[in-house]
């Protein structure tokens, strides 16, 4: 069974209008939220640790890389201004 076959949209239900309709719509929404939350596949502690580590390492790498580029461009621009006067 493909993923698209497993996920089927909920049937559209309408409640009466007015204050009672608002209450029924809110109740229906919260019931559907609870049902969807039960279907969620939560990651394991190990998966969360691994992905968090990847994010921290990647952010550190790119932060240092961009800092290095900024430093290099700063020195290049200052050199150009010193050579050609500004």
Q: How far apart are the C-alpha atoms of 19 and 27, rounded to whole Å?
A: 12
**Measured between alpha carbons, how far apart are the two ends of the chain, in Å?**
69
Q: What is the pTM of this model?
A: 0.55
Give the start-to-end residue ranges of the domains of the chain.
1-41, 43-86
Q: How far apart are the C-alpha atoms of 17 and 26, rounded to whole Å?
A: 12
Q: What sign has the CA pseudo-torsion 22, 25, 27, 33?
A: negative
pLDDT tens-place string over residues 1-60: 555 556 666 666 655 566 677 888 899 999 999 999 999 998 999 999 999 999 999 999
């Amino acid at each position: 069974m493909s993923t698209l076959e497993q996920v089927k949209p909920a049937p559209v239900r309408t409640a009466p209008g007015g204050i009672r309709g608002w209450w029924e719509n809110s109740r229906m929404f919260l019931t559907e939220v609870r049902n969807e939350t039960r279907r969620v596949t939560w990651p394991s502690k190990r998966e969360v640790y691994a992905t968090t580590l990847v994010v921290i390492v990647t952010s550190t790498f790119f932060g240092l890389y961009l800092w290095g580029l900024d430093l290099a461009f700063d020195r290049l621009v200052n050199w150009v201004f010193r050579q050609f006067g500004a």
